[in-house]
Structure 1
Amino acid sequence: MGDVFLQLDGIKKSFGGVHALKGVDLEVRLGEVHCLAGENGCGKSTLIKVISGVHDATEGTIIIEGKKINKLTPIDAIKMGIQVIYQDFAIFPNLTVAENIAMNQALMTGAKRMDWKKARILAKEAMERIGVNIDPDVLVERLSVANKQIVAICRAIMNDAKLVILDEPTTALTAKEVERLNEIIINLKNKNIAVVIVNHKLDEIYQIAEKLTVLRNGKNVAHGLIEEFDRQRFIKCLTGREIEEALYRPEESKEEILRVEHYTKKGAFEDISFNLHKGDVLGITGLLGSGRGEIGDALFGLAPAESGTVLLNEKKIMIKSVQDAVKHKIAYVPEDRLTQGLFLERSIEDNTIAASVKKYFNQFKLDHAAMLETTKMWIQKIGCVASSPQAPINTLSGGNAQKVVIAKWLNTEPDLIILNGPTVGVDIGAKADIHKILHELASQGVGVIIISDDLSEIIHNCNKVIVLQNGRIVAKESSKDLDEAKLSALLSSEINKRGGH
C-alpha cells in the first residue's frame, strides 16, 4: 500500500438542526481498496459529498496528500484527483462512449468543440488501462448497466484520478458482472489508485476490500483490516443489534395453497410447473434473462401466460389482467419499487391504502380516521421508521420504502404474495425485518414466493427453490440440500451451455 492520500479528522456536517456527520475520521492510502459501509441514513452519502467538495464540512480537517485543505470545491477535488461515480453514473445517454469518456477532459481544458478523432483515441487508451473493450462509437443508452458503469470509470481515470469512489456499485449488477467489476478495481489498485467502495454486502466486500470503515448514525463505529471482521461482528457494527441469520425450515404441510401446471408464455418461459404448501416460502432464481421475473409478472396479470393452469387454494383461476389477480387475492411487490410500487410524492398513508381503498368507503365517503389507524398499525407492525403517517415516501430510506410497498399489499389480505427482488438496495437491518415478516405470513397460511438472484437470500429464507435457465425449470430443490456453492453451480451451468457468454 502506498502513501496516505486522504485523511479526514473529526468531520462534522449539520443541515439546520440535523447532525448528519458527528465527527467522522477516515484514512485512505494510494493503491488500497477501502470499503465504507453503513445502513441507509448513516451519513455515507454526506461524507462522500464532503470529500468531493459538494458540501462544506461544518467542522473538522481535510488533508489531501499531506496538505490541509481549508476550502474544497468540486472542481478542486477533481483537479486533486478525486472522482466519485454515483449510482446513476452521471453519463450522457445520447452521446457515444468516446464522447462520454472524453467529455470531462474537454471541459477541463476549456475546449470549445469536441475533437472526435482525439475522443476515440482517449477512450481506447482509458479502456486499455483497465482491461476492457467497448465500441467507442456506440451510444451509451444502448449499453448494459455494467458497461455504463465501466464508461464512468474510464472517464474518471482520464482525469488522472488518484482516488475513485464507487457509490453502491453492484446494486444493479449480476454475479458475473460483479466479478468483472472486481477485476477492474484490482487493475486500478495495481496502478496505485485508491478505491473507496460504498457497500454493505459483506460477501462482496470480502472479495475485494482490504480495509473497512463502518458508520452508524453519523459516527465511526469500527475500522480495521477486512479479516478482523467476521459476519456477526460486521452485522453488529452495521446495525447496532444482533441479527439471527437462521435458515428458514418450516414443518412440512400437506395443505396446498398454489399449484401451477405447464405455465407457458412464448419468449419468456415454457412448461413451468410447481406447487406451494402452507408454511412454504418458494424461491425462484436464475440469471438475468432466465425468465424468473416474467413468471411473477404473469401470475399478477402484468404480462399474462398464454397457456397453463393455476389453482389457488384448490380452485382453478384465470389471470388475464392485474384486476383478475387482485380479485383472486394475489399481491405483487415489483422489482422496481420506485416506478412500479410507490407514489413517491404521496404520503405513507396514501401508499398504504392505495391497493385497498375500496375498504374505506363509507356511504360514498372515505373514512379518513380508519385509513389513518390502519396506516399507524402497519407502521408499527412492519417496523417502518418515519416521522408520521403523512411523511412523503421520498423522505424514507430504501428499506422503509420497501416495507411500505409490502404493507400496501398485505392490507389487501392476500392469499398469495409474490416479491420480485424484495431486498434490492435494502440494508441488512431492514432486510432481516422484511424476511421475518415473510416467514410469519407463510406460517399463517399465506403463499409466499421470493424471486431473487441473491443466493444468500434464497438459501436462508426459502425452504423450496426452483432454478430457471432459458425460460425452463432445470432444478427443483429443497434448500436443506443446497448451499450457495451448489446453487451458484446450478446457475453457472447456464453460462457453460451458452459458451461463456
Structure 2
Amino acid sequence: MAEPLIELRGVTKRFPGMTALDAIDFRIAPAEILCLAGENGSGKSTLIKIVSGVYAYDEGELLIDGAPVSGFSPRAAIAAGVQVIYQDFSLFPSLTVAENLAMGRLLSENRRLVAPAECQRLGAEALARLDVTMDLDARVGSLSTADRQIVAIARALMSRTRLLIMDEPTTALTGREVERLFAIVREIKAKGIAVLFVSHKMREMLEISERICVFRNGRKVEEGPTAEFTEGRITRAMTGQDIGQERYVWSGDIAAEPRLSVRALGVGERVHDVSFDLRAGEIVGLSGLLGSGRTELALALFGMEPGHRGEVRMDGAPLKLETVQQAVEAGIAYVPEDRLSEGLFMTQSIARNMVASAIDRVTHGPFLSDGEATALAERTVADMRIATTDVDKQVGKLSGGNQQRVIIGRWLLTGPRVLILNGPTVGVDIGSKAEIHRRIRDLAVKDGLAVLMISDDVPELLQNCNRILLMHRGAIEADLDPRGLEEDDIHTRLKTLR
C-alpha cells in the first residue's frame, strides 16, 4: 500500500467519564476511498475531529506524509489538504451558489470588497471541476438537498484538497441522487484525492469503498479490503451481535374491512387519484423518486393539505381531514421525515417532547401536572427502550436513534389506529434501526396498528412491509408483494419510473 496521506498511531482521546478513542491505529492513502462505519457513539465523529484538527488527542501520534506533526489545528489541517463536509453542509442559505463557492477564497485572500463578476467566475470554475451545471444565481436555501451537497463538495475542492471527509452524505438523498453522488466521488478519486466516507448504510459502503474500517465503543474492531466484507460481517462488527433479517409476515384477512381506505385522493397538481387500502396489522411501504408526491400524500392524510380531493375512510366511516387536530382525533399519527426541524423541540426535555401530542392526559383544567408528565414519559421511555432513564435530559443531547424513538413514542401516546412513518430510520445506526423495526412490528402484530412506512431504504421496506406501493408523478404505479422480491428487483422497478 502507498505511504499513508494521514496516519494515526495509538491515538487516544478522553472526555470526562469516558474514552472516546482507545489506542486507535488508522491510515488513509492518497486517492483511496475508505468507508468508516460504526454506531452512534463508536468514535467516528471524534476521529473526524482529530483528523481535521478540531480536537487535540491525549496520547499517540499523528503523521502527514509519514512525518509526525504536533499542535494540529483546523488551520493546519486545511493547509495539509483536509476538508470536511458535515451533514448540515455549513452553507449560507441566503447567499447565491456563486457567493457560497467564492466565499472561502475571498476570505482567505482578505478581500474587503466582493465583485459579483469574480464570484461568478470562481463559482463556474468550481462547478466545472465536478463537471456539473447549476444556476449560479440561485439562492442556496432554495436548492434540493442533493444540489446543496454538490455546492459543498465544489467549495471544498476549491482549495488544494488532498482528503475529503464526507459525514453521512447520503442521509437525505434518493436512489438516483446517491448514484449521482457516487459518480462525483469516483471523479474525485480519479483526480488523486482521498475520500473518507462515513455512513450507516451497508449497501453503500460495499458499493463505493475500496477499504472498510469499523469502530465500536471507541475501538477499531475490523479493517480490510471491501471485497472481504458482507453486510452480515459489517453488522456484527458494528453491534457485536447478529441482527436478524427475517421479513414481516402479515397474517390478517385481505377481505377484511380496511382500517384506512383512500379513494381518488388528489393534492393540487402533485397527487392524482391515489387509491389504496390499509388494514389492521398491515405494514405497507410507500416509495418513489424525489417529487413523486409521497410526502404530499402523507401530509394530506394528516390534515396538513386542506382542500385535497377524494375520500378517506377510517373503519368504514368517512373522515374530514382539513386540520391536524381532525386527523389526530380520527386516530392518525404522523412521524415526519426531518426530526430536527419538524419533529422535536431540541432544547426541551424528553418529558416535554413526549407529552406534547397528548397534553390532555397530564393537564387538569389550565394546569400541567409535572408529576404525571414525568411518569407518563418514564413509561414511554422504557417501552421504547430509549437509552436513558433521565426524562429531564434535553432531547437534543440524545443520539439520532433515541431521538427517533422519542418521536414515535410521543405519537403512540395519542392511541393511534394508523401510524404514518416518513423516513422512520433516516440517519439512524444499525442497532437503533433494528430496535425501531422491532417496535413497529410489535405494534402491528400485537396491537393491530396499521402502518404506512414511507422510505427510500429498500432493504427496510423488504424486511418490514407485507406490501410495497411505488409512486411516480403523483400516482400509485405498482402494488408489490415483497415475497420473492430482492433488493435489485425494487431498484430496477424504480429506475423504470424515471
- Answer yes or no: same fold by TM over 0.5: yes
Correspondences of 1:144-183 after superposition (within 5 Å): 144-183=144-183
Matches of 1:463 and 1:305, distance apart in 2? 31
Alignment match, 2:455? 452
Alignment match, 1:264? 266
Matches of 2:309 and 2:92, distance apart in 1? 42
Bigger Cα displacement from structure 2, 262-271 vs 138-147: 138-147
Matches of 2:308 and 2:94, distance apart in 1? 37
Matches of 1:11 and 1:339, distance apart in 2? 36
Alignment match, 1:184? 184
Deviation at 1:14, TM superposition (A): 2.2
Deviation at 1:183, TM superposition (A): 1.1
Counterpart residue type for residue 488 of structure 1: H
Alignment deviations for residues 386-414 of structure 1 (CA, whole Å, 9 cap, x no partner): 25111110110011000000000111111
Bigger Cα displacement from structure 2, 10-19 vs 434-443: 10-19
Alignment deviations for residues 421-443 of structure 1 (CA, whole Å, 9 cap, x no partner): 11111111111111111111111
Q: Say if 1:242 and 1:464 are closer, same or farther in 2 by CA, change over 3 A.
A: same
Where 2:60 maps in the other structure, the secondary structure is strand
Where 2:108 maps in the other structure, the secondary structure is helix
Correspondences of 1:249-288 after superposition (within 5 Å): 249-253=249-253, 254-255=255-256, 256-288=258-290
Deviation at 1:48, TM superposition (A): 0.8
Contact map agreement 2:145 2:172 (CA 8 A) in 1: yes
Where 1:158 maps in the other structure, the secondary structure is coil
Alignment match, 1:132? 132
Where 2:95 maps in the other structure, the secondary structure is coil
Matches of 2:192 and 2:182, distance apart in 1? 15
Alignment deviations for residues 459-495 of structure 1 (CA, whole Å, 9 cap, x no partner): 1111011111111111112221533223223322221
325, 338, 341: which one aligns with 1:339: 341
Contact map agreement 1:282 1:465 (CA 8 A) in 2: yes
Q: Say if 1:364 and 1:88 are closer, same or farther in 2 by CA, change over 3 A.
A: closer
Alignment deviations for residues 225-244 of structure 1 (CA, whole Å, 9 cap, x no partner): 11221111111111222210
Q: Say if 1:80 and 1:446 are closer, same or farther in 2 by CA, change over 3 A.
A: same
Q: Say if 1:139 and 1:273 are closer, same or farther in 2 by CA, change over 3 A.
A: closer
Counterpart residue type for residue 251 of structure 2: E
Where 2:497 maps in the other structure, the secondary structure is helix
Alignment match, 2:427? 425
Q: Say if 1:149 and 1:307 are closer, same or farther in 2 by CA, change over 3 A.
A: closer
Where 1:479 maps in the other structure, the secondary structure is coil
Correspondences of 1:221-236 after superposition (within 5 Å): 221-236=221-236
Matches of 1:143 and 1:371, distance apart in 2? 40
Deviation at 1:268, TM superposition (A): 2.2
Matches of 1:92 and 1:351, distance apart in 2? 29
Contact map agreement 1:35 1:199 (CA 8 A) in 2: yes
Correspondences of 1:231-380 after superposition (within 5 Å): 231-253=231-253, 254-255=255-256, 256-304=258-306, 306-362=308-364, 365-380=367-382
422, 438, 441: which one aligns with 1:439: 441
Matches of 1:210 and 1:451, distance apart in 2? 31
Matches of 2:455 and 2:405, distance apart in 1? 17
380, 384, 387: which one aligns with 2:386: 384
Deviation at 1:118, TM superposition (A): 4.5
Contact map agreement 2:126 2:158 (CA 8 A) in 1: yes
Contact map agreement 1:2 1:31 (CA 8 A) in 2: no
Unaligned runs of 5+ in 1: 496-501
- 1:464 paired with 2:461, answer no
Q: Say if 1:363 and 1:324 are closer, same or farther in 2 by CA, change over 3 A.
A: closer
Alignment match, 2:123? 123
Where 2:157 maps in the other structure, the secondary structure is helix
Counterpart residue type for residue 207 of structure 1: E
Deviation at 1:146, TM superposition (A): 1.7
Matches of 2:448 and 2:262, distance apart in 1? 18
Alignment match, 2:11? 11
Matches of 2:26 and 2:306, distance apart in 1? 52
Matches of 1:353 and 1:138, distance apart in 2? 41
Alignment match, 1:498? none
Matches of 1:265 and 1:97, distance apart in 2? 32
Alignment deviations for residues 94-124 of structure 1 (CA, whole Å, 9 cap, x no partner): 3333333233233333334345545444433
Alignment match, 1:20? 20
477, 480, 483: which one aligns with 2:480: 477
Matches of 1:299 and 1:135, distance apart in 2? 35
Bigger Cα displacement from structure 2, 56-65 vs 371-380: 371-380
Q: Say if 1:305 and 1:418 are closer, same or farther in 2 by CA, change over 3 A.
A: farther
Contact map agreement 1:268 1:471 (CA 8 A) in 2: yes
Correspondences of 1:211-226 after superposition (within 5 Å): 211-226=211-226
TM-score by length of 1: 0.94
- 1:206 paired with 2:206, answer yes
Where 1:72 maps in the other structure, the secondary structure is coil
Deviation at 1:304, TM superposition (A): 3.3
470, 488, 493: which one aligns with 1:490: 493
Counterpart residue type for residue 474 of structure 2: G
Counterpart residue type for residue 99 of structure 2: E
Counterpart residue type for residue 167 of structure 1: D
Contact map agreement 1:2 1:192 (CA 8 A) in 2: no
Cα RMSD after superposing both structures: 1.8
Q: Say if 1:474 and 1:59 are closer, same or farther in 2 by CA, change over 3 A.
A: same
Unaligned runs of 5+ in 2: none
Where 1:212 maps in the other structure, the secondary structure is strand
Deviation at 1:15, TM superposition (A): 2.6
Counterpart residue type for residue 226 of structure 1: T
Alignment deviations for residues 339-392 of structure 1 (CA, whole Å, 9 cap, x no partner): 222111111111111111212235765443333222222212211112511111
Counterpart residue type for residue 44 of structure 1: K
Alignment deviations for residues 25-54 of structure 1 (CA, whole Å, 9 cap, x no partner): 211000100011111122211211111111
401, 404, 407: which one aligns with 2:406: 404
Matches of 2:103 and 2:493, distance apart in 1? 43
Contact map agreement 2:167 2:198 (CA 8 A) in 1: yes
TM-score by length of 2: 0.95
Matches of 2:386 and 2:226, distance apart in 1? 31
| Identical positions, percent | 41
Matches of 2:344 and 2:206, distance apart in 1? 34
Matches of 1:266 and 1:475, distance apart in 2? 22
Counterpart residue type for residue 429 of structure 1: G
Q: Say if 1:111 and 1:296 are closer, same or farther in 2 by CA, change over 3 A.
A: same
